[in-house]
Amino acid sequence: MSTTDGPTLIPDDAAAQAIADREARMRPRRGWFPGLGDRWNALPRQTQWLILIVVVVIAYLLPILNPPLITTEPGNNWQIALAQMSVYALVAVGLNVVVGYAGLLDLGYVAFFALGSYTAAMLTSPDSPYVHIPYLWTLPLAMAVAMFFGVVLGVPTLRLRGDYLAIVTLGFGEIVRILATIIPAMKGQVGFQNVGHPPGTDSSGQTIFQNSNGTPWYWLTLTIIIVVLLAAGNLERSRVGRAWIAIREDEDAAEIMGVPTFKYKVWAFAIGASVGGLSGALFAGQVGFVNNQKFDIATSILFVAAVVMGGTGNKVGALLGGSLVAYIPLRFTAIAEFKYLIFGAALVIIMIFRPGGLLPARQSLLAYGRLAYNKLKGFAVGGSPASGKLVTQPGKEAGNE
């Protein structure tokens, strides 16, 4: 904890770990797509946009394409699978703010997901005696409710470090789930049926957003994901994102550099929670049924696995990780006995071969940094600096003119 060379206390876990992690990340990237992130960042803006548009179009077409081999059928309906994958992806993007950016290990993220689901269910399901509001209204409301609880949980506990926070959040997740069992109004395992859905019918008078039709749900979630990604990008390339990364890298140093660390940790928690709530509400709508069974620790841990597997701190990685975590068991439903065995093995293998996650690319943290860096192109580009004598070379010192 001591910030200088004097007597050091027991080395602070977080700081020590930050150093270890940093060293870990220094290793050259090996594996299937080395330096993908670097290469992506090197592309001109226009090309990036072009590629992005193509990717987005393909993403929207997925339910129609139903690509062979990839498809989850015959075990699971592909459109429904897509809808669930997209919800998981959204969850992972939200959790990435907490775990990936701010470096807070939240093992109870499922609690916010649950809060969102229950908000949607209790305000739209005919099983609930309370006021009913249109489903779409429950989305912002779910975000608000989850955010509120995020702050309520965060304020007292965010002073805890590392794994203490992990167990507290995990406990919170369990508390929410069990209270949903105990409190009669939340109907425990009995749950809520016929959760609402967005309005609209197709030409034949059929409801568009049916539980059994994944496509519209997928499109809705995908659109929301795109909006959330843009928002996350905006945050990332701003003071907020920098504060989060600074906290993750070295909390004490961040604080001393004038970053209100506590405030930004609460923000991370609140923003993460609200996305969790949002995804919960979407999930509730899509499945059409909410009870307490979905929100257990195992699910919560899967969420974290999604983020880490995708590439901690990278929102696109989170997206990928979230989809995969949902996908693997769905894909292998046909061999029911093995699906989780495959899943576990996949986790191990992926992490061993890509310890930084599938897409470990670093995000840029400056909104207009590209400009500044481009100006530097005249100087050294890429690679790492020659060691040693740079410092000792005379004449380069600004101070000396």
Partner 1 sequence: ANQTAPSGTDTSGTSGRINIPAISKVDVPAGAVLPAGDGKGTCPSTTTIAYAGAETGPNAQLGINIFNGIQLAVNQHNTANPGCQVQFKKFDTEGDPNKATGPVTQIVSEPDIIGVVGLPFSGESKATGNIFEQKGLVHITPSATNPSLTKNGWTTFFRALGNDAVQGPAAAKFLTDKLQAKKVYLVQDDSDYGIGLGTTTSQALGSAMVGSDKVVTGQKDFSAVISKIMNAKADTVYYAGYYAEGAPFDQQLVGKGFTGSFVGPDGVKDDQFIKQAGDASSNSYFTCPCIPGELIPSFESEYKKLANAEPGTYSIEGYDAATVLLSGIDKGKQSRADLLSWVKSYDADGLSKHYKWDSTGELATPDVYGYKVENGKIVPIGVIGK
Partner 2 sequence: MLELKNISVHYGRIQAISDMSFSVEEGEIVSLIGANGAGKTTTMRTISGLLSPSAGSITFAGKDITRMKAHIRVVRGISQAPEGRGIFPGMTVMENLDMGSYGRKDRTKVGDDLERVFDLFPRLKERIKQLGGTMSGGEQQMLAIGRALMSNPKLLLLDEPSMGLAPQFIRQIFKIVTEINNQGTTVLLVEQNANQALARAHRAFVLETGSITHRGTGKELLANPAVKEAYLGVG
Partner 3 sequence: MSEAIEPDIDVDALKEQGVDLEVAERVAPERDIVTKVGEALVQVQNLTVKFGGLTALDNVTFDINRGEILGLIGPNGAGKTTCFNAMTGVYKPTSGKVLLEGQSLNGLPQHKITRRGLARTFQNIRLFGEMTALENVVVGLDARHRTSVGGALLRLPTHVREEKTAIERGMALLEFVGIADHAHFLSRHLPYGYQRRLEIARALATDPKVLCLDEPAAGFNPAEKEELMALIRTIRDDGYTVLLIEHDMKLVMGVTDRIVVLEFGKKIADAIPKIIRDDPKVISAYLGEPEDDVA
Ligand X SMILES: Nc1ncnc2c1ncn2[C@@H]1O[C@H](COP(=O)(O)OP(=O)(O)OP(=O)(O)O)[C@@H](O)[C@H]1O
> Does residue 68 touch partner 3 according to CB under 8 A?
no
> For the chain, how far is it from start to end, CA to CA, in angstroms?
38
Stretch that binds partner 2, among 73-81, 199-207, 209-217, 379-387 (CB under 8 A): 379-387
What's the closest the beta carbon of residue 342 comes to ligand X, in angstroms? 36
> Does residue 84 touch partner 1 according to CB under 8 A?
yes
Alpha-carbon span 392 to 45, nearest angstrom: 37
Q: What is the largest CA-CA distance in the chain?
A: 80
**Residues paired with 201 in a beta bridge:** 207
What's the closest the beta carbon of residue 22 comes to ligand X, in angstroms? 9
> Does residue 388 touch Mg ion according to CB under 5 A?
no
Restricted to residues 370-389, the positions that interact with ligand X (CB under 6 A) are 387
- How many residues bind Mg ion, per CB under 5 A? 2
Q: Cβ(99)–Cβ(166) under 8 Å?
A: no
> Does residue 46 touch partner 3 according to CB under 8 A?
no
Q: Which is nearer to partner 2, 19 or 190 (CB)?
A: 19
150 Cβ neighbours under 8 A, 6+ residues apart: 112, 269, 270, 272, 273, 274
Alpha-carbon span 299 to 390, nearest angstrom: 51
Residue-by-residue DSSP string for 121-167 = HHHH-TT--S----HHHHHHHHHHHHHHHHHHHHHHHTTS-HHHHHH
Name the amino acid, one letter, at 20. A
Tell me the C-alpha to C-alpha distance, in Å, between residue 37 and each of 230, 245, 310, 318: 18, 17, 13, 14
- How many residues bind ligand X, per CB under 6 A? 8
Single residue of 46, 203, 212, 392 touching partner 2 by CB under 8 A = 392
Single residue of 9, 69, 131, 381 touching ligand X by CB under 6 A = 9
Single residue of 46, 212, 374, 387 touching partner 2 by CB under 8 A = 387
Alpha-carbon span 248 to 313, nearest angstrom: 10
287 touches, from ligand X, Mg ion, partner 1, none (C-beta below 5 to 8 Å by class): partner 1
Site residues (CB under 8 A) for partner 3? Answer: 2-7, 15, 18-19, 22, 25-26, 231, 234-235, 237-243, 245-246, 248-250, 252-262, 267, 271, 313, 362, 365-369, 371-373, 375-376, 379-380, 384-385, 387-388, 390-392, 394, 396-401
Site residues (CB under 6 A) for ligand X? Answer: 2, 5-7, 9, 23, 26, 387
